Amino acid sequence: MGYLFLFLLGFGLAVTGGVTIIAYMNFLPVGVSWGDYFIFIASRPECYFLPIGILLIAIALFRYPNHF
């Protein structure tokens, strides 16, 4: 049950971080360069949810007992 909770927590964080990163892409048509965009999202804490969520998903999948 713990691995399922870890997986769902990671999935929620990954979705939140991914949606936030995509939402911040709306700055690009305004004239913000790609370099400034990456500097901006690196300074936003909610953008770190995507890699943290992917890491939690990977931990849950690789640590899940596999009985074949």
| Residue boundaries of the structural domains of the chain | 1-63
Give CA–CA dist 55/51, Å, rounded: 6
Give CA–CA dist 63/23, Å, rounded: 33
For the chain, what is the mean pLDDT? 93
Give residue 64's pLDDT band: very low, low, confident or very high (50, 70, 90).
confident
Give CA–CA dist 38/68, Å, rounded: 43
List pLDDT tens digits, range 22-53: 999 999 999 999 999 999 999 999 999 999 99
pTM of the entire predicted model: 0.84
Is the per-residue pLDDT at 68 higher than 90?
no
